[in-house]
Each structure stands twice: as C-alpha cells, then as structure tokens.
Amino acid sequence: MHAYEQLYINGQWVPSTGTDTLSVTDSATEEIIATIPEGTAADVDAAVAAARAAFPAWSELPKEERAGYLVKIQAGLDARTDEIASTIAKEVGMPIFLSNLIQVGLPKANFAIAAQLLGSYEFEEQIGNSLVVKEAIGVVGCITPWNYPLHQIALKVAPALAAGNTVVLKPSEVAPINAFMLAEVIHEAGLPAGVFNLVSGIGPVVGEAIASHADVDMVSFTGSTRAGKRVAEVASQTVKKVSLELGGKSANIILEDADFNKAVTDGVGKCFLNSGQTCTALTRMLVPRSRMAEAEKIAAAAAAGFTPGNPFESTTRLGPLVSAAQRERVRGFITKGIDEGATLVAGGAETPEGLDQGYFVAPTVFSNVTRDMTIAREEIFGPVLSIMPYDTEAEAIEIANDSIYGLAGGVWSGDADHAKAVARKIRAGQVEVNGGAFNVMAPFGGYKQSGLGREAGKFGLEEFLEVKALLT
C-alpha cells in the first residue's frame, strides 16, 4: 500500500491542514492499495491563493512557452504509461490492454492537442472598429470523476493551462492515484509554482469550497447530474462561469435496413466498454419490433464474449465495477428491471461464477424494455443494455429523445445519408453514424440535463477564454 501524505500547492508537496485520510481500493481484489489526504476548505483557500498569485505571469507568458510546458507534461506521462495504466486498471477495473490505450492514451493526446492548438489558434480578430481579443478567465477549479479519471482531468487541465489560466484540481477520491502521478509529472516539467494545484478530498467539502470560492473564476465539473446541479447552485452565488459534463442515457437507433450483426454487436460493445462505466454508453438499443428476436440472439452472443475477470488476465473482456457501492447500485437496477417486467436475455444480478472477490457484475441484456421502465430512464453506469422495440422511424426518434439527458447516441442504416438525417433529429451532443469512431478533436458535451459547454479540441480551449472588445 502506498500512502500519499501531501497535497500539491504552489509548486510544493505540503501537508493538508486536516489529519484525516481516504482509502483507495483495488476494484478486483477489494484490497486497500493507497491512502490520500482528506483535504479541507483551508487547503482550497491556500491552493486558490497560489493560483491567483501565479495567474498574471502565466497568462502573459508567450503561448509558445505555455505550449512547451504542455509538451513536457505529455512526454512525462508517456514515460510512465505502463505504471499509470496499471494503476487505473486497479482503481477503475478496466482491462489492462484497454487501460493502456484509453485511460493513458487519451490524456497524453489531450496535452499534445492543447499544445498544438496554441500554434494555430487566433486569439485576436478585427471586427469593424473593434479588436476582439480572447484571454484567460483566471483561476479555474476542475472537479473530475472516477470512470476515465486521468482523461477527464486532462480534458480540463490541458486546455485551461493552454489558455493561460491557473488551476485548482479536485480529482475523484475513488480513483485519485493517477492525479498524484500527474502532479509529479507536472512538477518534474518545471511548471511555475501555483499554476497547477492539487487538493484531494470529498465533494461536499473540497468540491463545494472550490465551487463557492470568490477567487475562483470558473468551475469545470464532470460527474453526475445531481452533483452538477449542486455545483451550479453553489457557483451561482459568485456568478462564475460553469461548465458541466453530466450524465447520459444514450439511444442507439438500429434502422430496418442496417447490417444487424454488425450494428447489434457494436452496440453491445459501446454499452459494455469500461464495464458500462461510461457517460456516453449506448445503453438503449432501439430495434424494429419485427426484428427483436434477431437482435436478442445477436446481443446474447455478443454479451457472452464479454468475459468478466481480473483486469490483468489476458482473457478478461469485462473488468469489475469501481466500488462495492457501485456494484450494489447496478445490481439493484437489474433486479428492478426484472421486477418491472423486462425480459432478461443475458446476465442478471447474481455474482458471476468464480468471482466472489471484487466488484463484479455479469454482462446483462434486457429486452422488451418500455420507455416508462426505470432501466430505460435512469443512468445505471454498469454493463446493462436495454433493447427497446419501435414500430416506425418517427417513433424511434421520439423514444431516443424521451430522456432528460442528451449526451450521445447512435444511428445505424444501410444508407449513410439516411442515418445522418436521423442523427440530426437526435437531441444530443454527439451521435455516432454507423459506428463512427471517437474523435479527440470533436466537441464533447451534452444537451438538456447532460450539461453545459463543450470539451476537446478548439471547442475545449474556447471554454476557458473570456472575450473582450477593444473599441478603436
């Protein structure tokens, strides 16, 4: 077990003003693998003061020099890829080969992209007699989740730093070790003191202190819709900018002329990635009523291929959930699905055979799910797919949009133009067309209660900029 005993504030590792610690658990073995400081509001005060003091010099630094630091951070992460991937596989449960590609690959890309954008992004534009300039907002509070922990940190920290802001980060206390590793990398990169600060702790203490702080100019939050509402409420008292990336209940419309084997199999994979602990997971599969039996058969076969097991075993396709609380929550949803009359096609609430230790849930597929059922409406955040019937294309679009969420979606058709036309009618920030690949440069964010603002690429950079007009 490793004890992280200090926070990173003003370019130094310093003890918390509090004395309590939080435990971090290996999701596959249930063993405590680390402890971290349980930070306090006073720690946030110190971090914000450091960030505020560092802001003028950092924001005025030539963008080429800011880019240079980001490249150094990317290189530092690259040098520790295997170590970080192993850590996140233990924290979150993602199989190690995917953890390497996704959980570390994406954060490295985010820092590289932020550096590249500084080379081409225009921070000034002449409009009539006005010189319109885009400049850093100030001190940014970043509050991040546990499911893609370092990726979500990098999606905020890299563009915030690129834009000239200084940062106070509160990582998820459930999967925080990777954040401490990032702080070590940042320290080794020689980032000026106070530009990046790390305060670990729990949301109701550290998160609230960041969101409510008068000297924090913006809060960027990723997590549950419930917590996001609280962040927005608290932040509103000081009228600061708030960016929210929240929950999802994404619909995957499979049209009559789609390649069903390909579409259903891909859809199961998009639902089960990271054991379903993905905000964009395509958890509602909408299928023509006449082809439900066909879809069920394909989905059951695909689910059978998601072998649950320890993330470090080569045969594992589905790791554990992140915690005991998450496991019980997901099992509760599965039980509710059965109780409310959905047809269980694969899996169930029972512990997968031979996996009594670890937070495992069987890959589960329901069919004949109706839109009023709990499993069709609430974000489960586990490996649970709901197959829902529709009778017409118009009804499919209506069902897809019948959600408080609007983060992602999918459409499959034998006619790509037809699929795009349907995709345009889905009220969501990101829609895959015939299994389109994730794009690290494309805007990422949601409609409705899935959030406010966009992350990634130039859109993510612009979230951290203020706009000023100089009238001449």
Residues 305 and 407 in one domain: yes
445 domain-assigned: no
Residues 85 and 195 in one domain: yes
Q: In this structure, which amino acid lies at residue 6?
A: Q
**What is the rounded CA–CA span in Å between residue 272 and residue 282?**
9
Residues 160 and 104 in one domain: yes
Q: Mind spelling out the 3-state secondary structure of 99-139?
A: HHHHHHHHHHHHHHHHHHHHHHCCCEEEECCEEEEEEECCE
Residues 165 and 197 in one domain: yes
Nearest partner of 453 among 250, 222, 227, judged by Cα: 222
263 domain-assigned: yes
pLDDT at residue 271, rounded to an integer: 98
Residues 423 and 337 in one domain: yes
Number of domains the chain is built from: 2
Nearest partner of 176 among 200, 204, 155, judged by Cα: 200
Burial category of 322 from C-beta neighbours within 10 Å (exposed 0-12, middle 13-18, buried 19 and up): buried
Residues 199 and 285 in one domain: no
pLDDT at residue 224, rounded to an integer: 95
Range of the domain at 334: 251-439
Residues 255 and 222 in one domain: no
284-288: strand order across its sheet: 343-346, 364-367, 384-390, 284-288, 251-254, 408-412, 430-433
Structure tokens at 367: 């069919």
Residues 142 and 195 in one domain: yes
205 domain-assigned: yes
Cβ(422)–Cβ(411) below 8 Å:
yes
Instruction: Give pLDDT tens digits along the chain (472 positions).
Output: 899 999 999 999 999 999 999 999 999 999 999 999 999 999 999 999 999 999 999 999 999 999 999 999 999 999 999 999 999 999 999 999 999 999 999 999 999 999 999 999 999 999 999 999 999 999 999 999 999 999 999 999 999 999 999 999 999 999 999 999 999 999 999 999 999 999 999 999 999 999 999 999 999 999 999 999 999 999 999 999 999 999 999 999 999 999 999 999 999 999 999 999 999 999 999 999 999 999 999 999 999 999 999 999 999 999 999 999 999 999 999 999 999 999 999 999 999 999 999 999 999 999 999 999 999 999 999 999 999 999 999 999 999 999 999 999 999 999 999 999 999 999 999 999 999 999 999 999 999 999 999 999 999 999 999 999 999 9
Residues 267 and 224 in one domain: no
153 domain-assigned: yes
444 domain-assigned: no
Residue 225 φ/ψ, nearest 5 degrees: -65, -40
pLDDT at residue 1, rounded to an integer: 85
Q: Work out the angle at residue 294's Cα, subtended by the Cα atoms of residues 288 and 299, and round it to the nearest 5 degrees.
A: 100
CATH number of the domain bearing residue 366: 3.40.309.10
pLDDT at residue 345, rounded to an integer: 98
User: What is the set of active-site residues?
Assistant: 245, 279
**What is the rounded CA–CA span in Å between residue 241 and residue 466?**
10
CA-CA distances (angstroms) from residue 87 to 25, 79, 355? 11, 14, 21
